[in-house]
Amino acid sequence: MLYRYGTDNNGKLIKKAVVYTKSEHSVSNKNIDPDALQIINRLRDAGFTAYVVGGAVRDLIVGNVPKDFDIVTDATPSKIKRIFRNSRIIGRRFRLVHVVFGTKIFEVSTFRSNAEGSVGNEFGTIEQDVMRRDFTINALYYDPLQEQIIDYVGGFQDIKKHVLKPVISLDTIFVEDPVRMLRAIKYSATTHAKMSFTLKRKIKQSAALLGQVSPSRITEELLKIINNVHASEIIKEAIDNDLFMYLQPAAASMIFDNKNIEYSFMKNLQKLDELNSTDVQARLGKKLYFIIF
């Protein structure tokens, strides 16, 4: 086990991050998309730092297959664009770069500052970037060249202990972005990470904030849940934590009024989980978006 050091406000040398080496983690570069590795290699060759970040690292550690490989770097969007001709800059406030390889799109972002909160729009350092990520299990950085995981917030051990802990203060995490409540129950189900009583209580207290989220974004999150192999577990968590009424209001009303409907609904979700887990949707060439009572 290695450490990254920095200095505090008094100039005293302190440990900033734990660095897990290849012998200490289960991540293999064989499980990382080769185009993602190519992006990181080209950024490094150009003199920048670059890492696989977030959910992909979490999935690689727990043995799931990542759907996306997000990359973070200290290169600004304009510099990333100059390195990759097959890219485009997106975003109005905080600009990101999409690097395109055929039908695959890789999101490459610049380290982001948390000076204006977790949803600020200024570039920053890796130390700032990590503190604006939602939960510790999503705040890990993987260096495929050194084959090391860089952990500033204890996320690696939280994954191993199956614990879901927020990085951002509970006073602000859901106020700044209510969709994080849906992500919390999704991570709890997909990684078997236990939420503390305090976190669950905060989600219930904050559930009404989802009413402020645009219908298009709610629909996007719902489709991600329905196409997840743990859909039934996630929806159960949503019902138990008073979130489901903001995902499917009509269905929630029917479920709350009639236990038989709830039973039928959950049974069909479990069948959908089985279909998704056997990759039927890929063989059929379509996605399964709707639940039938």
Which sequence positions are flagged as catalytic? 68, 70, 134
CA distance 223 to 132: 25
Cα–Cα distance for residue pair 132/128, rounded to 1 Å: 7
Largest distance between two CA atoms of the chain: 64
3-state secondary structure the chain: CEEEEEECCCCCEEEEEEEECCCCCCCCHHHCCHHHHHHHHHHHHCCCCEEEECHHHHHHHHCCCCCCCCEEECCCHHHHHHHCCCEEEECCCCCEEEEEECCEEEEEEECECCCCCCCCCCECCHHHHHCCCCEHHHCEEEECCCCEEEECCCHHHHHHHCEECECCCCCCHHHHCCCHHHHHHHHHHHHCCEECHHHHHHHHHHHHHHHHCCHHHHHHHHHHHHCCCCHHHHHHHHHHCCCHHHHCHHHHHHHHHCHHHHHHHHHHHHHHHHHHHCCHHHHHCCCCCCCCC
